[in-house]
């Protein structure tokens, strides 16, 4: 069962789903910080289409962690409510991914585990950017021409 808290009408997730395009070591990074985490491959979902993975994550209250930026931004822009999305830019070595994910977790912790309808993007230079991202509020232009604030 998900480790979920509610805040008003919002559901706050403390579970991460690490996409198969990233290192499975990110599961250990999340768990070392006290969060639940699963790796797509270990759940038997390897090779699933992105839209199917998004539906699974949404139904199971996961915050997805991926480097597949364009596809996931498009899928999440269709959702009214989601637990959150973390994108590491670009896919690097295992050590680089772990470092970027740590930065995302720092922001997550600072927000009191509230990423409902939020997108966190961690860039190669280590900068962390957060914005609203849902069917009601997103910037379609950001998908192809990112402008971080």
Whether 6 is in a domain gets the answer no
Query: Quick check: is 52 in a domain?
Result: yes
Encode pLDDT of 44-103 as tens digits: 999 999 999 999 999 999 999 999 999 999 999 999 999 999 999 977 899 999 999 999
Closest CA to 123 of 83, 73, 69, 47: 69
pTM summary value: 0.89
Total domains in the chain come to 1
In a domain, 72, yes or no: yes
- Residue 89's domain spans which residues? 11-136
- pLDDT tens digits for 92-135? 899 999 999 999 999 998 888 788 999 999 999 999 999 999 99
């Amino acid at each position: 069962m998900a480790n979920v808290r509610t805040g008003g009408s919002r559901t706050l997730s403390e579970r991460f789903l690490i996409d198969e395009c990233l290192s499975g070591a990110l599961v250990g990074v999340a768990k070392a910080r006290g969060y639940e985490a699963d790796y797509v491959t270990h759940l038997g979902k390897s090779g699933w289409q992105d839209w199917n993975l998004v539906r699974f994550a949404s139904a199971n209250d996961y915050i997805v962690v991926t480097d597949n930026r364009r596809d996931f931004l498009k899928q999440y822009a269709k959702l009214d409510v989601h637990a959150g999305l973390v994108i590491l830019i670009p896919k690097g070595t295992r050590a680089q991914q772990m470092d970027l994910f740590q930065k995302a977790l720092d922001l997550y912790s600072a927000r009191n585990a509230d990423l409902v309808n939020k997108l966190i993007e961690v860039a190669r230079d280590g900068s962390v950017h957060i914005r609203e991202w849902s069917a009601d509020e997103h910037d379609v232009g950001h998908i192809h021409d990112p402008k971080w604030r």
